[in-house]
Amino acid sequence: MDRMLVVVFDNEVKAYEGKKALLQLDSEGSISVYAYAVLSKHADGTASVKQGDDAGPIGTLLGTSFGSLIGLLGGPVGLAIGASAGVLAGATVDLNNARIGDDFIDDVTKVLTPNKVAVVAEIEEDWTTPVDTRMEAIGGTVFRRALSDVKHTIHDENVAAMRADLAQMKAEHAKAHADRKAKLQEKINQLDSKIQAQLEKAKERREAAERQAQAKVQVLKAKATAARAKAS
């Protein structure tokens, strides 16, 4: 199952131990790590993304679920992106794109307080014990949430409702007197603009999902290539 994972630690040293443990679980085949980052929350409420010694797959899911989660965890004060993590500068901060509920963000941010550090990752895991056992041993507090497609269903229903309203307004406009037509036309134009904006967001989400799927395939191919090279 594909999940978002956030593990909160008391300091950066522990967080990097957690990142190392996560990648070890990946190399052992217990989980698959598609993207990861270390997020530090500062005393002034800002946050910054740090990278370890290796570049890793941190940039492969730019602008998709992972990038959106990173942006959301940056909080209302904002996310400070350092030069070492500049690949995330274009991440889209969008709860819909993150494909997780706002309650998950709330739960994490209550624990990810100033001066704490988190390992954030998008992973695939069949069971939770391997990650929980390793992270808890280091002192990490684990949060996870399965990626959801519910938001896409809600979006489709919302657009359908707006289109029904638009059709009704157009029908009224055709029968209205001249003084009423102008007001109805203004409402029609506003609603049509909203529909177009929703359709554009849907297109962006579809494209993001395609990029995400392609990125995951590339990550898995790279792992398979590395495994074959190691075995030969």
Residue extents of the structural domains in the chain: 2-148, 149-232
* Terminal CA-CA length for the chain: 31
Q: Are 49 and 39 in contact (CB under 8 A)?
A: yes
Q: Which of 29, 69, 20, 43 is nearest to 212 (CA)?
A: 69
- The 10s digit of each residue's pLDDT in 110-143 is 999 999 999 999 888 888 889 999 999 999 999 9
- The 10s digit of each residue's pLDDT in 67-92 is 778 878 875 544 444 333 333 433 44
| 220 vs 149: which has the higher pLDDT | 220
CA dist., res. 141 & res. 72, Å (int): 19
